[in-house]
Structure 1
Amino acid sequence: QARQSYLKDRRIERIYNWINLQVFYPREENVLARFGADPEKFTVICVSVSWAEGSVRYEYLKQLIQRVDENTQFIVVGQCDRPIKSEKVFHVAYVSDTGLLAKLYSSAHVYVHFSLEDTFGKVIAEAMACGTPAVVFRSTGCPELVAKGGGYAADPGDMDQVYKYVQEIFKNGKDYYRDACVKTTRESFSYETNVGQLMGLYEDILNKAQQESYP
Structure 2
Amino acid sequence: MVLQLSTFHWEGGAGVAAARLHEALLQAGVDSHLMVSEISRPGPNTVAWADSPWRSKKAWGNFVLERLWFLPHEKDQSVRFAFSPAVAGADISGHPLVKQASIIHLHWVNFGFLSLPSLEKLFALGKPIVWTLHDMWTFTGGCHYNRGCDHYLSHCHYCPYLRKPGEYDISFAQFEQKQRIYAQAPLTLVSPSRWLDGLVQKAALTTRIPSRAIPNCIDTDFFKPGDRIAARNEWALPTDKKLLLFAGANTQDPRKGFAYFREAMQDPALAGTEVMILGKGEPENFRDMPVKVHFLGKISDPRQMVKAYNAADVLIVPSLEDNLPNTIMEAMACGTPAVGFDTGGIPEMIGHLENGYVAKTRSASSLAEGIQWVLNHNAAGAVSGLAREKVLQHYSREVVAGLYSQLYDSLLHG
Q: State the TM bucket, normalised to the shorter chain.
A: 0.7 to 0.9
Match of 2:73 in 1: none
For the pair shown, the structure with the greater C-alpha radius of gyration is 2
1:38 is displaced (CA, Å) by 1.1
TM-score for both structures, normalised by structure 1: 0.87
Aligned partner of 1:114: which letter? P
Match of 1:159 in 2: 364
SS of corresponding position for 2:244: strand
Given that 2:360 and 2:366 are in contact with CA atoms closer than 8 Å, whether structure 1 keeps it comes out as yes
**Number of residue pairs the alignment of both structures matches:** 208
SS of corresponding position for 2:243: strand
Match of 1:144 in 2: 348
CA–CA separation in structure 2 for the residues paired with 1:97 and 1:54: 25
Match of 1:25 in 2: 224
1:11 is displaced (CA, Å) by 4.1
CA–CA separation in structure 1 for the residues paired with 2:339 and 2:254: 22
Q: 2:212 aligns with which of 7, 13, 16?
A: 13
Match of 1:73 in 2: 274
CA–CA separation in structure 2 for the residues paired with 1:53 and 1:145: 22
Any gaps of 5 or more consecutive residues in structure 1? 209-215
Q: 2:286 aligns with which of 75, 84, 105?
A: 84
SS of corresponding position for 1:163: helix
SS of corresponding position for 2:376: helix
Given that 1:53 and 1:80 are in contact with CA atoms closer than 8 Å, whether structure 2 keeps it comes out as no
Match of 2:242 in 1: 42
SS of corresponding position for 1:83: helix
Identity of aligned residues (%): 23
Match of 2:325 in 1: 121
1:10 is displaced (CA, Å) by 5.3
Given that 2:335 and 2:385 are in contact with CA atoms closer than 8 Å, whether structure 1 keeps it comes out as yes
Q: 2:311 aligns with which of 86, 89, 107?
A: 107
Structure 1 76/26 Cα, relative in aligned 2: closer, same or farther at 3 Å? same
Given that 2:255 and 2:321 are in contact with CA atoms closer than 8 Å, whether structure 1 keeps it comes out as no
**Larger relative contact order (CA 8 Å, sep ≥ 6):** 1
1:134 is displaced (CA, Å) by 0.6
1:166 is displaced (CA, Å) by 0.6
Q: Deviations over 1:73-113 (max 9, x none)?
A: 11111111443125521101022221221122112111110
1:192 is displaced (CA, Å) by 1.9
Structure 1 55/13 Cα, relative in aligned 2: closer, same or farther at 3 Å? closer
SS of corresponding position for 1:13: strand
Aligned partner of 2:371: which letter? V
Match of 2:175 in 1: none
Aligned-residue CA RMSD (Å): 2.1
Structure 1 50/206 Cα, relative in aligned 2: closer, same or farther at 3 Å? same
Any gaps of 5 or more consecutive residues in structure 2? 1-194
CA–CA separation in structure 2 for the residues paired with 1:44 and 1:197: 34
Given that 1:74 and 1:89 are in contact with CA atoms closer than 8 Å, whether structure 2 keeps it comes out as yes
SS of corresponding position for 2:387: helix
SS of corresponding position for 2:217: coil
Structure 1 112/32 Cα, relative in aligned 2: closer, same or farther at 3 Å? same
CA–CA separation in structure 2 for the residues paired with 1:145 and 1:58: 20
TM-score for both structures, normalised by structure 2: 0.47
Given that 2:256 and 2:321 are in contact with CA atoms closer than 8 Å, whether structure 1 keeps it comes out as no
Q: 1:3 aligns with which of 185, 198, 201?
A: 198
